[in-house]
C-alpha cells in the first residue's frame, strides 16, 4: 500500500538502497568471520617453504574457483561506484587543468605572436615579390635603349607616379575631412567636455554638446534656453578663438572647433614628418595643451607621445621603419 504524498519512484529507490546496505553488511560480516577464522588458524601455518607454497597455491585455487561478489539486480551499488569514480575523475581533471593553466596561456600567447609574425612576413614577402617583378619589368623595358632614352623614360614614369600619389593624397585628405566632420569631431568634443571617450558614444549632436556633461560623464538635461554667449566663451576657453568664424553670427560650435583642431594637428604632424626627412627626433610637434585629438591618434596607433615629454607627439613613419 502506497503512502499518500510519496513518489513511487522515490519509494522504490529507498527500498533498493536499504536492500543494498543490508547486502553489504552481510558481505562484511562474512568477510570478518573468514578473517577471524584465518587468524585463529595462524599458529597452524607450516614453516617449511614447500608447504607454504602449497598452502598459497591452494588458497589461490580456492579464490579463483569461488564466485565473485555481485550485487543483486536491483542494487544501487554499481551506480554509486560509477558516481564515485566519476567524481574522482572530475577532481583529478580539475587539478590537472589548474596545474597546466599557466602553460596553456603561455602557449596561446606564443601562438598568437607567431601567427602575427607569420602574417607580417607573408605581407613583406608579397611586397618584395611585387617590387622584384616591377624591377624585372623595368629592366626588360630598357634593354636595347639608349641611356638618355632610359633616363627620359624613367623621369616620365616618376612624374606619372607623383601625379598618382598627389591624386591619391587628395582623395585620402577628402575622406579624412569627411570622417572628421561626420563622425569624429562630435566624439572629440564630447571627450573634451568631460563626456565619454571617443568611440563609446556614437550618436551626439551639437545640442547635446551644448548642454554639457556631469561628473559621471552623462549628458546634462538642458534647462531652458542655452546661453550662447556663455557657450561661446567656453568654446574659446577650451579651443581658442577660431581663425575663420562661421557665418552664423560669427560663432563656432563645439563640433566645428574640435574638427578644426583635429585637422590642424594632423596637418602639422604630416608637414613635420615630411620636413624631418626620416629624423624621428625632428618629427615631434609641441602640443599647446592636453588634447583629445592627440590622445585619439595615440590610441589609434598612428602616433606616439615622446617617451619623456607628453606634450610632444609625432606620427609613426611606417615607410621608414619598413625600410630599416
Model pLDDT, residue 4? 53
Q: How many angstroms separate the first and last alpha carbons of the chain?
A: 92
Lowest mean pLDDT among 43-52, 110-119, 290-299: 43-52
Model pLDDT, residue 234? 66
Please enumerate in sequence order all residues whose Cβ is within 8 A of that of 128, keeping only pairs 6 or more positions apart, or say none: none
Lowest mean pLDDT among 17-26, 117-126, 155-164, 268-277: 17-26
CA-to-CA distance for 69 and 17, rounded, in angstroms?
17
> Residues 177-220: pLDDT tens digits?
999 888 888 888 888 777 777 877 777 666 666 666 766 667 66
Model pLDDT, residue 250? 40
197-234 b/e with 16+ CB inside 10 Å = b?
ebeebeebeeebbbebbeeeeebeeeeeeeeeeebbeb
Lowest mean pLDDT among 91-100, 177-186, 256-265, 310-319: 310-319
> Residues 270-302: pLDDT tens digits?
889 888 877 778 889 998 888 888 898 998 888
Q: Is the pLDDT of residue 249 over 70?
A: no
Q: Is the pLDDT of residue 248 over 50?
A: no
Model pLDDT, residue 316? 84
pTM listed for this prediction: 0.49
Helix ranges restricted to H, the chain: 8-40, 49-65, 77-141, 147-179, 185-192, 206-211, 228-239, 254-276, 292-299, 318-323
Torsion sign, CA atoms 83, 85, 90, 91: positive
Q: Is the pLDDT of residue 223 over 70?
A: no
Three cell numbers, residue 81? 561506484
Residue that is written with C-alpha cell 564515485 in the block = 84
Model pLDDT, residue 252? 57
Model pLDDT, residue 163? 92
Residue 322: pLDDT band (50, 70, 90) is: very low
Beta bridge partners of 219: 213
Amino acid at each position: 500500500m502506497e503512502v499518500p504524498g510519496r513518489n513511487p519512484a522515490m519509494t522504490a529507490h529507498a527500498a533498493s538502497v536499504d536492500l543494498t546496505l543490508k547486502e553489504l553488511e552481510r558481505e562484511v560480516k562474512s568477510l570478518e568471520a573468514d578473517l577471524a577464522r584465518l587468524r585463529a588458524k595462524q599458529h597452524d601455518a607450516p614453516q617449511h617453504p614447500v608447504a607454504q607454497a602449497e598452502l598459497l597455491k591452494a588458497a589461490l585455487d580456492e579464490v579463483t574457483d569461488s564466485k565473485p561478489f555481485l550485487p543483486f539486480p536491483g542494487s544501487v551499488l554499481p551506480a554509486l561506484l560509477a558516481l564515485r569514480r566519476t567524481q574522482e575523475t572530475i577532481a583529478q581533471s580539475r587539478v590537472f587543468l589548474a596545474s597546466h593553466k599557466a602553460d596553456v596561456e603561455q602557449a596561446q600567447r606564443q601562438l598568437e605572436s607567431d601567427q602575427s609574425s607569420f602574417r607580417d612576413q607573408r605581407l613583406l614577402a608579397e611586397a618584395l615579390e611585387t617590387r622584384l617583378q616591377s624591377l624585372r619589368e623595368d629592366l626588360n623595358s630598357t634593354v636595347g635603349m639608349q641611356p638618355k632614352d632610359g633616363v627620359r623614360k624613367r623621369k616620365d614614369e616618376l612624374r606619372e607616379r607623383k601625379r598618382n600619389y598627389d591624386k591619391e593624397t587628395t582623395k585620402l585628405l577628402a575622406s579624412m575631412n569627411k570622417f572628421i566632420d561626420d563622425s569624429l569631431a562630435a566624439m572629440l568634443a564630447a571627450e573634451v567636455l568631460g563626456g565619454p571617450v571617443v568611440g563609446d558614444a556614437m550618436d551626439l549632436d551639437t545640442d547635446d554638446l551644448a548642454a554639457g556633461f556631469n561628473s559621471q560623464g552623462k549628458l546634462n538635461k538642458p534647462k531652458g534656453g542655452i546661453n550662447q554667449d556663455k557657450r561661446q566663451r567656453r568654446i574659446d576657453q577650451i579651443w581658442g578663438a577660431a581663425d575663420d568664424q562661421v557665418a552664423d553670427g560669427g560663432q563656432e560650435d563645439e563640433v566645428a572647433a574640435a574638427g578644426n583642431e583635429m585637422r590642424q594637428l594632423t596637418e602639422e604632424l604630416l608637414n613635420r614628418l615630411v620636413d624631418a626627412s626620416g629624423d624621428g627626433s625632428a618629427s615631434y610637434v609641441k602640443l599647446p595643451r592636453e588634447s583629445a585629438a592627440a590622445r585619439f591618434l595615440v590610441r589609434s596607433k598612428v602616433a606616439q607621445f615622446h617617451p619623456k615629454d607628453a606634450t610632444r607627439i609625432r606620427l609613426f613613419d611606417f615607410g621608414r621603419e619598413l625600410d630599416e
